Every structure is written in structure tokens, then in C-alpha cells.
């Protein structure tokens, strides 16, 4: 089975093994030869960061691999992570014209990873900052949006201070993606590459609203960018949610990524993951990797409505996860304060609405992981206009406060994907640059 971003899958995943094997030089050369170098290529249009895909593939084909990496990173400074975790099968690779003739796209993700890995291994910093402008910008949030914004601002000659609430910068790339997608501490290696440009200072353990206020940042800096993500966790709202053995999927993923004990014991356990997105899949597969005896994913709608891509669904199945649909949680059962099972109601569509049928099923389990979405944590956002539970921005990503911009998951600009966050951060940096020069 072909991987989302390259070669064949391993038969069994582990926390320390790549999801897909990276291309060798010979494989990359062979795959690059399949590209037709389309004019006005659909794959470029499908990429939120508009990477010149035919351009970088042509450079690989002519042996200019580091040049290919520069082309990628100039458009998407987190091209290395996106090559590993981006759902290329529904973005650039889905748009590839090879699908029409051969039903097999050029494996763009695998080629992107090959090029960026070669550059990182060589320790080359291909970018040079413009002359200092004397302007200082605060970036709140050290995830993909914040780091992309910081990098572009530094390139443009501004000084940037990144404030990150956690112990490490990296955001979703460091804490939210499954370990088997980001082996060999890649998120931190990518961060080191970004910071090696210069002009960026990262201050960890600093949270907006707790350690620093927006008003203070506006006073101390010439502009502010908010890339704070969605730190709030949605609840199931059912009885038994406070039992031992119930945890948020994102907390489990983060703990396993940091090689820490997860908030619930997984070894030998029967796990039910509630949700149908990529986070649910990551949590389900990582639970198996961490020693769970059996894992079931339960989703309230059908397979076609799942947030997880078809590739992710297939990956879950091949690794032993049981996918069950049209089931919504109604009660978590327990004895002695611990989980013993979960009651779910069968759901159906009626006149375009999702409704319960009244029929229930009970799945015996020891652990319930909640992966039903995240929401904006409003702390520290005093004075900012919100819309639909996200920070309201205009077409330039400017918020309701002068000199304050926002991007990534904390706004609604597209899919909640790393590549979209990078696109937002880069766009905001150009808007901030124009604002500072006005």
C-alpha cells in the first residue's frame, strides 16, 4: 500500500519507527521523472502555501536537491513537517494529472521530504536576512503559524520575540502529531533550522493572560501576531466523564511524544476513542503502539463524513483499530471510580438532521479517549472581536485591534492543518511588514 507521503508502509507501526520509509536518492530520481511539469499546475493551486511543485521536482531531477529544498522552504518553512504529516492525498497529490492517466499521482510528499532532509542533513541555512529595520514584533504561540510568521518577519529584517506557553516551541508539530509521523525529534530539528536564521528569540513557559497581557505586548512592541491555536478541549457532556480512565486524546498524544507516562494507563487495556478526525486516528494507533490490547474508534456519523482522510482511516484499519460509525456516546460506565464500558446510541440521518434512534450498544472498555475537537481558550484576548468561536480577522489577517494580527487554528481561514497555519503565518508577516512601513 502506498504511503501518504512516499514509500510503502511498515507492517507494524511503533512510536520510534517512521510511518513511511523515506526515498533513497535513486527512488527520488525515478519518482521525479514521472512529473509532467505542468504549466499552471493544479498541484500548486491545491497547496495552501503554493509551493512551486513542478519547479522543485525538476531541480531534484537535475541533481540540484538543495535548490529544490530552498524552493520548498521559501514557500513553506515547515515543508519538512508537511512532507511527513500533510494530507497530500487530498491536496497536491489529488490534483496531480497523473491520476487521470495512471490512477497514481506523483508522490509529491515523498519528494518534498527527500529534498528537505538532504538540506537539513547538510546543515545549510539557505536564507539571509534583510537589513535591520529597527522594528520589534511579538509573536504569541510557538506553533506552525507563529514560527512561520516569525521566520518571514526575521527575513524581512525585523526582530521577533516568540512567547510560548509550553516548555518547548513547536506547537502541534511537537505535541500534537503522532510520534510515528515525527521520529528522530524532527520537530525540534526543524525549529533549530528556523532559529538559525537569526533575529528570533523564543521565550517558553510564558502564557498570554497569565504571564503577559495583550495590552502590555502592544505597548512594548511595534506589532503583535497571535498564533495561539485552540487550547480548549470539547467535552462529551455525558455521565461518567470524570471517571478514572477517561482522558483527552491530545493529552495522550502529547505525553507519548514527550516520552512521558500518559494520563491513563494503556498497556493491556481496552480503549475506545470517541471522534472521527486525524487526532482520533493518531490517538488510536498510538494506543496500540503503547501496548493497548484492543482499540475501537466510535464516530457519530458515517465514514464519508469523518474528518480523518481515507488514507488515515485505512492506516487505522491496517494497524488493528476497529472503526465503528453512527454511534454517539451517552454514558461512560464504571465501578469503583474506574471505567468499565461505554454506552453509545445508534444515530441516523432524518430530513438532513443527525438524530438518535433510541437503540444503544455497550462496548466494554477500560479507557475512553475524547477526540471531539478543540476550541479557543479566550484567556488574555480582552478587547479582541471574536466570530464563531475564533478570533475575527479581515482579509489581511488583521484583528479588531490596530497592529494585532492572528492566524492558524485560532482563526477560521481554511482546514485546521499545519500547512494552512504556515500559510496564515507567512501572509500575516507580509501584512505586518506593510503595516510597519506605512
Three-state SS for 218-246 is HHHCCEEEECCCCCEECCCCCECCCCECE
How many residues are given for the chain? 438
Identify the helix (H) or strand (E) that includes residue 122. Answer: helix 108-122
Q: What is the C-alpha to C-alpha distance for residues 354 and 358, in angstroms, rounded to an integer?
A: 13
Tens of each residue's pLDDT in the chain, 438 residues: 234 454 444 445 677 788 778 999 999 999 999 999 999 999 999 999 999 999 999 999 999 999 999 999 999 999 999 999 999 999 999 999 999 888 899 999 999 999 999 999 999 999 999 999 999 999 999 999 999 999 999 999 999 999 999 999 999 999 999 988 999 999 999 999 999 999 999 999 999 999 999 999 999 999 999 999 999 999 999 999 999 999 999 999 999 999 999 999 999 999 999 999 999 999 999 999 999 999 999 999 999 999 999 999 999 999 999 999 999 999 999 988 899 999 999 999 999 999 999 999 999 999 999 999 999 998 899 899 999 999 999 999 999 999 999 999 999 887 788 999 999 999 999 999 999 999
Per-residue cell: 312? 488515515
Q: Domains of the chain, with CATH numbers?
A: 2-122 (1.10.1060.10), 136-231+376-437 (3.50.50.60), 233-373 (3.50.50.60)
Query: Could you tell me if 8 and 21 are in contact, meaning their C-beta atoms sit under 8 angstroms apart?
Result: yes
Q: For the chain, what is the radius of gyration of the CA atoms?
A: 22
End-to-end Cα spacing for the chain: 53
Model confidence, pTM: 0.93
Which spans in 221-338 are helix H? 249-257, 278-289, 310-318
Q: What is the C-alpha to C-alpha distance for residues 5 and 20, in angstroms, rounded to an integer?
A: 7
Amino acid at each position: 500500500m502506498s504511503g501518504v507521503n512516499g514509500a510503502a508502509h511498515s507492517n507494524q507501526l511503533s512510536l520510534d519507527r517512521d510511518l513511511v520509509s523515506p526515498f533513497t536518492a535513486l527512488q527520488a530520481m525515478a519518482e521525479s521523472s514521472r512529473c509532467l511539469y505542468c504549466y499552471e499546475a493544479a498541484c500548486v493551486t491545491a497547496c495552501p502555501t503554493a509551493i512551486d511543485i513542478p519547479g522543485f521536482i525538476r531541480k531534484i531531477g537535475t541533481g540540484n536537491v538543495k535548490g529544490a529544498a530552498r524552493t520548498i522552504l521559501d514557500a513553506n518553512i515547515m515543508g519538512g513537517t508537511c512532507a511527513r504529516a500533510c494530507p497530500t492525498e487530498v491536496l497536491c497529490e489529488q490534483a496531480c494529472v497523473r491520476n487521470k492517466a495512471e490512477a497514481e499521482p506523483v508522490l509529491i510528499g515523498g519528494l518534498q521530504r527527500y529534498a528537505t532532509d538532504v538540506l537539513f542533513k547538510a546543515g545549510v541555512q539557505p536564507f539571509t536576512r534583510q537589513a535591520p529595520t529597527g522594528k520589534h514584533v511579538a509573536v504569541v504561540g510557538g506553533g506552525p503559524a507563529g514560527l512561520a510568521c516569525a521566520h518571514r518577519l526575521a527575513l524581512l529584517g525585523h526582530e521577533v520575540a516568540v512567547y510560548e506557553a509550553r516548555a518547548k516551541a513547536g506547537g502541534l508539530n511537537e505535541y500534537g502529531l503522532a510520534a510515528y509521523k515525527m521520529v528522530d525529534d524532527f520537530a525540534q530539528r526543524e525549529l533549530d533550522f528556523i532559529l538559525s536564521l537569526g533575529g528570533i528569540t523564543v521565550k517558553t513557559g510564558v502564557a498570554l493572560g497569565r504571564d503577559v497581557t495583550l495590552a502590555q505586548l502592544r505597548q512594548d512592541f511595534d506589532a503583535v501576531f497571535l498564533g495561539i491555536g485552540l487550547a480548549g478541549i470539547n467535552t462529551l457532556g455525558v455521565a461518567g466523564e470524570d471517571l478514572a480512565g477517561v482522558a483527552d486524546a491530545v493529552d495522550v498524544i502529547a505525553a507519548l511524544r514527550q516520552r512521558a507516562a500518559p494520563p491513563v494507563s494503556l498497556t493491556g487495556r481496552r480503549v475506545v476513542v470517541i471522534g472521527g478526525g486525524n487526532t482520533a486516528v493518531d490517538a488510536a494507533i498510538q494506543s496500540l503502539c503503547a501496548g493497548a490490547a484492543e482499540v475501537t474508534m466510535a464516530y457519530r456519523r458515517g465514514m464519508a463524513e469523518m474528518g480523518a482522510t481515507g488514507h488515515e482511516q485505512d492506516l487505522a484499519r491496517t494497524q488493528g483499530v476497529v472503526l465503528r460509525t453512527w454511534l454517539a456516546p451517552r454514558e461512560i460506565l464504571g465501578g469503583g471510580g474506574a471505567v468499565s464500558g461505554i454506552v453509545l446510541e445508534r444515530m441516523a440521518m432524518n430530513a438532513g438532521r443527525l438524530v438518535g434512534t433510541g437503540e444503544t450498544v455497550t462496548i466494554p472498555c477500560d479507557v475512553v479517549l475524547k477526540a471531539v475537537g478543540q476550541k479557543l481558550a479566550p484567556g488574555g484576548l480582552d478587547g479582541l472581536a471574536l466570530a464563531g468561536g475564533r478570533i475575527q480577522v479581515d482579509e489581511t489577517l488583521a484583528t479588531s485591534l490596530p497592529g494585532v494580527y492572528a492566524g492558524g487554528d485560532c482563526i477560521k481561514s481554511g482546514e485546521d492543518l499545519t500547512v494552512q497555519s504556515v500559510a496564515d503565518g507567512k501572509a500575516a508577516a507580509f501584512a505586518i511588514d506593510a503595516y510597519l512601513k506605512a
